[in-house]
Amino acid sequence: MRYMFLIYIDATAPDSDQSEIDAYWAYDRALADVGALVASNALQGTGTATTVQVGADGARTVTDGPFAETREILGGYYLVDLPDLDSAVDWAARCPGARNGKVEVRPIMEFEEP
Using alpha carbons, select from 77, 110, 97, 94 the residue that is nearest to residue 2: 110
Q: Of 73, 85, 92, whose CA–CA distance to 30 is shortest?
A: 92
- Domain residues for the domain of 6 are 2-107
Output the domain CATH number for residue 78: 3.30.70.1060
Mean pLDDT in the chain?
A: 91
**105 within 8 A of 2, measured Cβ to Cβ:** no
> How does pLDDT run across 48-69, given as a tens digit for each residue?
888 899 999 999 999 887 666 6
Strands 60-64 and 101-107, by their bridges, are unpaired
Contacts of 78 (CB under 8 A, 6+ apart): 4, 5, 7, 31, 37, 39, 40, 95
Whether 114 maps to a domain, the answer reads no
* 45: in domain: yes
pLDDT tens per residue across span 1-21: 999 999 999 877 777 788 989
Is residue 51 included in any domain, yes or no?
yes
Decide: pTM greater than 0.95. Answer: no
Residue 21 falls within a domain, yes or no? Answer: yes
Structural domain count, the chain: 1
